[in-house]
Structure 1
Amino acid sequence: MTFERNPGPPAEHVPIPNVQPGQEPTPVQIRLQILSTEHWSLLASRGLAWNESFTRAGMYLTTLSGSIVALSLIGGVDGFNDPFFVVALVVLPVDLFVGIGTWLRMGAANFHDAIAVAGMNRIRGAYLEIAPDLAPYFVMGVHDDAPGIGITMAVPPGTAPFVHLIAGTPTLVMVLNAIVAGAIGAIAALRFVGTGAPVTVLLAAGIAAIVLAVEMSSARRKIVRGQRALEPMFPTPHGDGPGA
């Protein structure tokens, strides 16, 4: 089962209706039932997103490792002549396509994960409105802004955003994509231009650096757009922690 969605319109900001004078508020039991149902729905949806991210990353690594093994066997038998270059220039672009698709899909899954976490934080906040005495027992965030989402995602306190980004699987996929692109450029240069080893290494490094820079720039823009789309309704008061 995969987690696939068609792109839809941005979420609308629906005003929260206030209880009018003389109107009975929703009973606590019904509120808890509705909140619990939504909570479990978000948990299941988040699980699907995580499952697809791991599946797509594993598929990419399996495809890439299989291609490298096949190329090494062909090169050992053929002596790295024309058949090796032909197979490499056919297989490696396919690997790069799989890698780019994996990276794009993981970005969409991460955005969905952030939306689900923000929703669950709002629900926890609603739980505390119903039973504020339970606040000491909540270890996850109850606010839907960046600090609250970071608490629920278990981001270590004081960790620089750059450190958190380079430790993520999407960054690993980005680096592998850049290396594969550099390898394609180096193999093409060796076969069609006949460049020497120093020039080939520099060319491969340059292509890899350009591809990585483009991917990082695109990821940064997507993160900024995602942060703007997630407008917090219940921001974290200064000095609050989990369950506060």
Structure 2
Amino acid sequence: MKSSASPPVPSAAPELRAQVLGAEHWSLLATKSAIWQEIFSRTGTFLAIVSATVVALSLVVQATGFGPNFRVIALLVLPLVLLLGLATCARLMEADIEDAWMVIGMNRLRHAYVDLVPGIEPYLVTGYHDDEAGLLQTYSFRRRIGATHLFAGSPVIVGIVNAVIGGVLAVIIGQALGVSTWVQVATGIVVASAVAALLVSVFVRRLRRFRREFVPRFPHAAESERPTSGAESER
């Protein structure tokens, strides 16, 4: 009597494995594209709101000067813009972490491609290891990222704008309270620095959490321990 169970799929089916890996690769690319679209959209929306706020406050200054009316409007608008900026910056940080996971996934898939087709390593520009070095190679085609690359990121730009808005808001509050000019300037610098430090600390904690949760499966150190495949094992 024959068994009704379906026959197992042969483990040595490179065509099927390549097809499955390719489908997963395209899925990760689509998700990565959606993440980058969200990053650009959120950054552009926030900067557009900041620009509109600056223009609106400029019109108020032209109409009423830097008087009580300007301070009232600024104290109503700027906290909302700062809150939106902080939320935008937090989401951009999360989006960068999500994008890093997508890159790690694609590096693992490329590692599988290398196993399927030995000898294609010299033709790969991006990394095929899922450790930190492979991640940086895929991001910047080298194993280190310079300071200019970090400062050009959307979270850093939005964070700087948030710090400036926080400082300006502190100065306006100081004007409303009638404190001296040097106290207003000092308070604005302190608040701007505090906002920047807060955002940096949030990013550092999120990055540390990412590093704790991430365990490489195909690091560079294990390259020499890879089992030989196919034609290599027959030599």
TM-score (norm: length of structure 2): 0.87
Please say if residues 107 and 127 of structure 2, whose CA atoms lie closer than 8 Å, have aligned partners that are also in contact. Answer: yes
Write out aligned runs for 1:75-224 (5 A). 75-154=61-140, 156-160=142-146, 162-191=147-176, 193-224=177-208
Distance 1:155 1:189, change over 3 A: farther
Show CA shifts across 1:154-182 (max 9, x none).
Answer: 1655544x554323221111111111111
Q: For structure 1, which runs of at least 5 residues remain unmatched after alignment?
A: 1-21
Show CA shifts across 1:179-214 (max 9, x none).
Answer: 1111111101101x2122221111100111111111
Query: How far, CA to CA, are the matches of 2:212 and 2:85 in structure 1?
Result: 27
How far does residue 130 in structure 1 lie from its aligned partner after superposition? 0.6
How far does residue 52 in structure 1 lie from its aligned partner after superposition? 0.3
Percent identity (aligned) = 36
Query: How far, CA to CA, are the matches of 1:132 and 1:111 in structure 2?
Result: 31
Please say if residues 136 and 144 of structure 2, whose CA atoms lie closer than 8 Å, have aligned partners that are also in contact. Answer: no
1:68 to 45, 54, 59: 54
Show CA shifts across 1:27-83 (max 9, x none).
Answer: 111101100000000000000001100100000100001101110110111012222
Q: For structure 2, which runs of at least 5 residues remain unmatched after alignment?
A: 1-7, 225-235
Write out aligned runs for 1:25-40 (5 A). 25-40=11-26
Give the structure with higher Rg (CA).
2
Distance 1:58 1:217, change over 3 A: same
Distance 1:33 1:157, change over 3 A: closer
Quote the RMSD (CA, aligned, Å): 2.0
Show CA shifts across 1:88-111 (max 9, x none).
Answer: 011111111111111111111111
Secondary structure of the residue that 1:234 maps to in structure 2? coil
TM-score (norm: length of structure 1): 0.84
Query: How far, CA to CA, are the matches of 1:25 and 1:112 in structure 2?
Result: 32
Query: How far, CA to CA, are the matches of 1:156 and 1:205 in structure 2?
Result: 37
Secondary structure of the residue that 2:130 maps to in structure 1? coil
